[in-house]
Homo-oligomer: A and B are copies of this chain.
């Protein structure tokens, strides 16, 4: 099985990026279709698709693979329509953020393989599309017992060719997993920023007094409602379950605070440190050796270049690098993660020589 002609159904940001990435991988022909003619025109203009089809049937005719990139709420009917409109040798996949609904809509056909690229982009429209959107991203695939293994291999190879890393998972497990790792964090970010935003304390506005932790934790707050209303409603079951578990965790914490239970708090924080370290184990070769450097920098162009050049020239590898702005007057805080104490000290000395004061500490507590 080989993809010679690809249909992309839904030519928004994700669909158009799939098309661009497929062409980057050497695919010759990509046909686009979108129920919204403007969205389709944008993808043609962007050069993402070679041609825009007039109808779904035209789009999928003669294709070996159709990628359905519709909004979550339209995913199930759209996948069904594509399965009906396409020939037997056309494999169908999708890119939706939830998988149970669309997989059951595929009615046990061997031709469908559910998919979900985790690329976290909030942009809309083919004009923001990029061939590089999936580079390094996890791409969940949800084959079922009925799925033809050849088709699964085809989709697996296709998403790999786009630069992503395919990870197979059961659709029910997928939806629970994203409820816990993405939808619950999004919900808590919204809850937290709205709680802080709704209160004024003795004339002080909590959101204006926000420290780094509140800013970090509300990074995704208010994210694109067109996408997120659908996701919350479509995955309401697993999200409610995750919120229920969250409530149980809250109960235990509140009890510990009520009784002044320092032992519980110590265990709870220790567990959190361990889980956080496990989270970073994939990203860093040795999370325990990570050192955090904090530098206060002024707000002007060229500051970052000076710092990264000095470290780059000394071949010091920066694992993470963050600049957070406080205000035009007060400048910002730069946080670097560097592996190894000696290496971190070397970096601190280089920055010290540029006149910066650097605070070095183990990144994961003690």
Contacts and interface: CB of A to CB of B under 8 A. Distances in A.
Contacts of A324: 283, 320
A188 interface: yes
Q: Which interface residue of A181, A199, A311 has the most chain B CB atoms within 10 A?
A: A181
A193 B279 contact: yes
Given A188-B192, A283-B325, A120 B212 contact: yes
Nearest to A193: B275
Q: Which interface residue of A138, A208, A239, A325 has the most chain B CB atoms within 10 A?
A: A325
Interface stretch (A59-67, A143-151, A222-230): A222-230
Given A262-B229, A301-B312, A327 B282 contact: yes
A118 B215 CA distance: 14
Interface in A121-169: 121-124, 128-133, 135-136, 138, 163, 165, 167, 169
A356 B135 CA distance: 11
A85 interface: no
A333 interface: yes
A364 B123 CA distance: 10
Contacts of A218: 272, 275-276, 279
Contact of A233 (B124, B260, B358): B260
A304 B312 contact: yes
A247 interface: yes
Q: How many copies does the complex hold?
A: 2
A229 B266 contact: yes
Interface in A270-311: 270-279, 281-285, 292, 294-296, 299-309, 311
Contact of A269 (B212, B222, B260, B279): B222
A274 B165 contact: no
A118 B250 contact: no
A331 interface: yes
A311 B305 contact: yes
B247 A260 contact: no
Given A182-B213, A209-B138, A217-B216, A365 B223 contact: yes
Contact of A275 (B138, B194, B262, B272): B194
A204 B173 contact: yes
Given A191-B250, A308-B308, 16 more contacts: A123-B362, A124-B361, A132-B357, A136-B331, A170-B202, A177-B202, A177-B204, A195-B242, A196-B279, A221-B272, A228-B269, A229-B265, A247-B247, A301-B317, A305-B313, A307-B308
6 contacts: A123-B359, A181-B213, A191-B253, A194-B272, A218-B276, A302-B312
